[in-house]
Amino acid sequence: PETWYHFIGGNVSKPGITADLEAIAKAGISGIQLFHGQFGGEWPGVSPQIQTLSEDWDELVQWTAEECKRLNLRFTMQNCPGWSYAGGPWIEPENSMRHLVYSRTDLAGGVASEITLAKPGNIEEEWRDYRDLFVIAFPTPEGDTGAR
């Protein structure tokens, strides 16, 4: 099993990371998913407070990855908070995180067809920056409705 591992606000240090990861490895956990939570106030004894996406923060993410490698732990980063890791007002919509959506169209086989494919719902807002990416076509078993 793996566990979530959080950078809580700016309360992060190399000795703290090392101590945490050594305890995680000793407990038999196989890896971490690094999260960032930009919340919580300053904690006693943690100085300096690290600013998200700063050079110091980047250095601590690298330190975490290197310590995971040293301790034979898998290391992954979670992009769950989205904005704190991969966004901000400086990110243009076309370079932002993506949400992949789909629609389904069923056709009778054996004849050439010219059709307009349906677009998925909830794509009209400007900020969604919707784009068609690809079409996947394949034969399905008789009676397949796509229902799960």
Q: Which domain holds residue 77?
A: 2-92
Q: For the chain, how big is the Rg over CA atoms in Å?
A: 23
My answer on whether omega of the bond before 48 falls inside 30° of 0, hence cis, is yes
Do residues 73 and 30 touch, judged by C-beta distance below 8 A? yes
Residue 145 placed within a domain: no
**pTM for this prediction:** 0.57
CA distance 24 to 13: 16
Determine, yes or no, domain membership for 63.
yes
Residues forming beta bridges with residue 61, ordered by sequence position: none
Residue 128 in domain: no
pLDDT digits (tens, 9 = 90+) for 84-114: 556 666 777 777 777 788 888 888 888 898 9
Is 122 a domain residue?
no
Q: Measured between alpha carbons, how far is 66 from 132 in angstroms, rounded to an integer?
A: 39
Tell me, what CATH number does 62's domain have?
Answer: 3.50.30
Residue 15 maps to a domain:
yes
- Asked if the structure places residue 7 within a domain, the reply is yes
pLDDT reported for residue 84: 55
Q: Average pLDDT of 20-39?
A: 91
Domain total in the chain: 1
Whether 41 is covered by a domain: the verdict is yes
The confidence score (pLDDT) of residue 113 equals 87
- 129, part of any domain: no
Phi-psi category of residue 6: left, alpha or beta, with phi > 0 → left and psi -120 to 50 → alpha? beta
